[in-house]
Amino acid sequence: MSGGTVRETALVLGGGGLTGVGWESGILYGLARAGVDLSGADLVVGTSAGSVVGAQLASGLLTPRELYERQLADPAGEMTAKFGAGLIARYAFAMLRSRDAAEYRRRVGAMALAADTPAEAERREVLAARLVSHEWPERRLVVTAVDALTGEGVPFDREGGAGLVDAVAASCAVPGVWPPVTIGGRRYVDGGFRSAVNADLAAGYRRVVILAPLPIGVGRLPSPVRQAERLRAEGARVLLINSSPEARKAFGRNLLDPARRAPAARAGLAQAAAHVAEAAAVWSGA
């Protein structure tokens, strides 16, 4: 990052489907309501669900309360999809056949390219409708995705040439469910297949809060815990908030079920109370 840019606070928002969007919004509102407003972070890193939340929060057009209240609205117009045991088994089989994380991402990318999914343009319209702005914010926002062909993780930002809607759509392109997203002639899939949170992109920031709807790593992919520990080892003050057992119960069995977004948001709001003191300590630097 160029000279003169503050590298103080970073908010990292992980993946977790529509339930992740709801839960993160609930956590953010609950903390803000208690006096710890994370929306002013110098950097926001968004992965999959976190890219939707991050884009709206960084826009400055929604308060944490308004972001939360949007999750309680009727989910009419959302595409219903299934994220179930069969798809998870396909991911697991791809992992078992892979020698390393890069090969795993390439296998999942190939699966995504071959899958029968809704049309890319149709899916893009849904993501565009979720966002309150289609322009990159002035605040630094990084949205993660994975190149479906090479398996390379790609961080999109306002300097990278991709439009915000396309970057968010790519970050949310769950392989085997949603179509890969075309940007600059390349096809991209869900950034969660690089990492559930991609917190390493907050390296160099002094104070970091990570929200992880899915608190585990998959196979060789780094877990949120491991990434948080790495940031601490580099000198950052880090708070990792994983979804509670109660929140995961609210998520249900299908993370992509629009009807579970509101229960997940309420669960996040309830959970936030348990993290106010530690969030305040990290965010204030006290």
Task: Please report, rounded to a whole number, the percentage of residues in the chain having pLDDT higher than 90.
Answer: 81
Q: From the candidates 25, 48, 195, 223, which is the catalytic residue?
A: 48
Assessment of whether the complete model's pTM goes beyond 0.85: yes
According to the model, what pLDDT value does residue 108 have?
94
* Mean of all residue pLDDT scores within the chain: 93
Which pLDDT band holds residue 269 (cuts at 50, 70, 90)? Answer: very high
pLDDT tens for 160-215 read: 889 999 999 999 999 999 999 999 999 999 999 999 999 999 999 999 999 999 87
Chain centroid to CA 249: 19
According to the model, what pLDDT value does residue 1 have?
39
Is residue 190 part of the annotated active site? The answer reads yes
Is residue 48 part of the annotated active site? The answer reads yes
SS3 for the chain is CCCCCCCCEEEEECCCHHHHHHHHHHHHHHHHHCCCCHHHCCEEEEECHHHHHHHHHHHCCCCHHHHHHHHCCCCCCCCCCCCCHHHHHHHHHHHHCCCCHHHHHHHHHHHHHHCCCCCHHHHHHHHHHHCCCCCCCCCEEEEEEEECCCCCEEEECCCCCCCHHHHHHHHCCCCCCCCCEEECCEEEEEHHHCCCCCHHHHCCCCEEEEEECCCCCCCCCCCHHHHHHHHHHCCCEEEEEECCHHHHHHHCCCCCCHHHHHHHHHHHHHHHHHHHHHHHHHHHCC
Which pLDDT band holds residue 85 (cuts at 50, 70, 90)? Answer: confident
Beta-sheet pairing, 181-183 with 237-242 = unpaired
Q: Is the per-residue pLDDT at 3 higher than 60?
A: no
The more confident residue out of 76 and 97 is 97
According to the model, what pLDDT value does residue 28 have?
98
Q: From the candidates 147, 166, 190, 257, which is the catalytic residue?
A: 190
According to the model, what pLDDT value does residue 278 have?
97
According to the model, what pLDDT value does residue 201 have?
98
According to the model, what pLDDT value does residue 218 have?
59
> Lowest-pLDDT range, 86-100, 108-122, 174-188?
86-100
